[in-house]
Protein backbone atom coordinates (compact mmCIF):
# COMPACT_ATOMS: atom_id res chain seq x y z
CA UNK A 1 0.00 0.00 0.00
CA UNK A 2 1.37 3.37 -1.02
CA UNK A 3 1.51 5.97 1.72
CA UNK A 4 -0.17 9.23 0.93
CA UNK A 5 0.73 12.47 2.62
CA UNK A 6 -1.63 15.41 2.69
CA UNK A 7 -0.29 18.93 2.25
CA UNK A 8 -0.81 20.81 5.49
CA UNK A 9 -1.37 24.01 3.55
CA UNK A 10 -3.88 23.08 0.82
CA UNK A 11 -4.84 19.41 1.54
CA UNK A 12 -3.51 18.28 -1.84
CA UNK A 13 -2.15 14.69 -1.90
CA UNK A 14 1.64 14.44 -2.05
CA UNK A 15 3.99 11.59 -2.75
CA UNK A 16 5.68 10.25 0.37
CA UNK A 17 9.06 11.64 -0.70
CA UNK A 18 7.86 14.94 -2.12
CA UNK A 19 9.87 17.89 -0.91
CA UNK A 20 7.23 20.37 -1.94
CA UNK A 21 3.57 20.49 -2.84
CA UNK A 22 3.06 20.69 -6.58
CA UNK A 23 -0.29 22.38 -6.01
CA UNK A 24 0.47 25.26 -3.62
CA UNK A 25 4.28 25.23 -3.49
CA UNK A 26 4.51 24.54 0.25
CA UNK A 27 8.02 23.23 0.85
CA UNK A 28 8.94 20.50 3.30
CA UNK A 29 12.19 19.32 4.77
CA UNK A 30 13.15 15.67 4.94
CA UNK A 31 13.36 14.57 8.56
CA UNK A 32 15.98 11.91 7.81
CA UNK A 33 18.28 14.51 6.30
CA UNK A 34 17.60 16.81 9.25
CA UNK A 35 18.37 14.00 11.69
CA UNK A 36 21.59 13.09 9.86
CA UNK A 37 22.70 16.70 9.99
CA UNK A 38 21.81 16.82 13.69
CA UNK A 39 23.99 13.75 14.33
CA UNK A 40 26.99 14.79 12.26
CA UNK A 41 26.85 18.58 12.14
CA UNK A 42 24.49 19.46 14.93
CA UNK A 43 27.17 21.07 17.08
CA UNK A 44 27.30 24.00 14.67
CA UNK A 45 23.55 23.97 13.96
CA UNK A 46 23.59 22.47 10.45
CA UNK A 47 20.27 20.69 11.04
CA UNK A 48 18.65 23.96 12.05
CA UNK A 49 20.06 25.76 9.03
CA UNK A 50 18.70 22.97 6.81
CA UNK A 51 15.28 23.54 8.36
CA UNK A 52 15.70 27.28 7.86
CA UNK A 53 15.44 27.93 11.59
CA UNK A 54 18.04 30.63 11.31
CA UNK A 55 17.73 31.87 14.89
CA UNK A 56 18.37 28.50 16.49
CA UNK A 57 21.06 27.71 13.91
CA UNK A 58 22.79 30.92 14.93
CA UNK A 59 22.39 30.04 18.60
CA UNK A 60 24.01 26.63 18.04
CA UNK A 61 26.90 28.25 16.18
CA UNK A 62 27.36 31.01 18.75
CA UNK A 63 27.20 28.53 21.63
CA UNK A 64 29.80 26.32 19.93
CA UNK A 65 32.15 29.23 19.35
CA UNK A 66 31.67 30.41 22.93
CA UNK A 67 32.32 26.89 24.22
CA UNK A 68 35.50 26.65 22.16
CA UNK A 69 36.75 29.93 23.56
CA UNK A 70 35.65 29.48 27.18
CA UNK A 71 35.16 25.81 28.04
CA UNK A 72 35.60 23.19 25.30
CA UNK A 73 33.78 20.62 27.43
CA UNK A 74 30.64 22.65 26.73
CA UNK A 75 30.70 21.24 23.21
CA UNK A 76 29.61 17.89 24.67
CA UNK A 77 26.45 19.50 26.03
CA UNK A 78 25.72 21.13 22.67
CA UNK A 79 26.36 17.83 20.89
CA UNK A 80 23.99 16.10 23.31
CA UNK A 81 21.27 18.66 22.52
CA UNK A 82 21.61 18.14 18.78
CA UNK A 83 21.71 14.36 19.26
CA UNK A 84 18.44 14.50 21.19
CA UNK A 85 16.92 16.69 18.49
CA UNK A 86 18.00 14.19 15.83
CA UNK A 87 16.41 11.35 17.78
CA UNK A 88 13.20 13.35 18.15
CA UNK A 89 13.15 14.00 14.39
CA UNK A 90 13.50 10.28 13.69
CA UNK A 91 10.81 9.32 16.19
CA UNK A 92 8.18 11.62 14.68
CA UNK A 93 5.59 10.27 12.27
CA UNK A 94 5.75 11.88 8.84
CA UNK A 95 2.46 13.83 9.06
CA UNK A 96 3.43 15.20 12.48
CA UNK A 97 6.86 16.17 11.14
CA UNK A 98 5.30 18.00 8.23
CA UNK A 99 2.85 19.83 10.46
CA UNK A 100 5.49 20.94 12.93
CA UNK A 101 8.42 21.63 10.59
CA UNK A 102 6.90 22.95 7.41
CA UNK A 103 8.27 26.22 6.24
CA UNK A 104 5.99 28.74 4.61
CA UNK A 105 7.82 29.22 1.36
CA UNK A 106 5.13 29.19 -1.30
CA UNK A 107 6.36 29.19 -4.87
CA UNK A 108 6.39 32.65 -6.41
ZN1 LIG B 1 -0.22 22.27 -0.93
pLDDT means per 10 residues in the chain (108 residues)? 74 79 85 94 94 93 95 94 96 83 50
- The pTM assigned to this predicted structure is 0.75
Is 83 contained in some domain?
Answer: yes
Residue 37 covered by a domain: yes
The environment of the single-atom ion ligand 1, i.e. residues with CB closer than 5 A, is: 7, 9-10, 12, 21, 23-24, 26
Beta-sheet strands, E only, within the chain:
5-6, 13-14
Q: Give residue 86 CA to ligand 1 midpoint distance, Å.
A: 26
Residue 16 maps to a domain: no
CA of 97 to the centre of ligand 1 (A): 15
Residue 62 belongs to a domain: yes
Indicate the SS3 state at residue 27.
Answer: strand
Query: Separation of 82 CA from ligand 1 center, angstroms?
Result: 30
Report the length, in residues, of the chain.
108
The pLDDT of residue 76 is 95
Amino acid sequence: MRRVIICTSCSHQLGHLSMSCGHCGQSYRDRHVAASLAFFGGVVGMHRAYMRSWTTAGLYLAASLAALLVEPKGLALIAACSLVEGLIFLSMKEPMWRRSHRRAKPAA
